[in-house]
Amino acid sequence: MKILMVGDVVGRTGRYFFMEQTPELKSAKKIDVVVVNGENAAHGKGLTPDVFSDLTKGGADIVTSGNHIWDNPKVLEIIDTEPFLLRPANYPEDTPGRGFCIFPVGRKKIGVINLSGRTFMQPQLDDPFRLTEKILRLMRKDCDAILVDFHAEATSEKLAFANYFENQFCNEVFWNSTPQIFKASIFKVREIFQPVNEFRNQIFIVS
């Protein structure tokens, strides 16, 4: 199975690039699932119903996010009704939307968890470590693979999360253009560190 993860898609330029390139890439690489972080896809901040539609028409199966998901209030029109639009799971329980999902791929099921770090983030959020353990207990019995989008400002927090949950996911992806660090890792197989330019899409294929 091949999974394509893309993030962040920023503004109109990022959306159009994603919509133009993803169908061809899916076909050429025989991609089964596309996960894209869309929190900055609407004019560089937030997400709207029309922009979400652009991403799904362009090939996104699951759209994750981070703290900027709330920057455009129009997202509230869809965040409770779109099952594969995620916001960080460690927001308060009464927050609209959902923080994880299970996506069917043929006879298999892929679990995706969306989380936010707490360092330099407002408002203060629930402990992502403890919450992830709770979600994993719910998802493991139903999923063939589990992916995590951990949206955080501090590289140290991302590394701490990655090391704590080593070998418990098929993949963890950490992205945020603010600290200029991207880390995609499958532990004991390969680790990738690369600088991020927020005006370019970072693409990582998990196979």
| Residues assigned a catalytic role | 68
Q: Exposed, middle or buried: residue 24 (CB in 10 Å: 0-12, 13-18, 19+)?
A: exposed
Q: How many CA atoms lie within 13 A of 10 on its CB side?
A: 13
User: Closest Cα to residue 182, out of 160, 201, 163?
Assistant: 201
Q: Exposed, middle or buried: residue 130 (CB in 10 Å: 0-12, 13-18, 19+)?
A: exposed
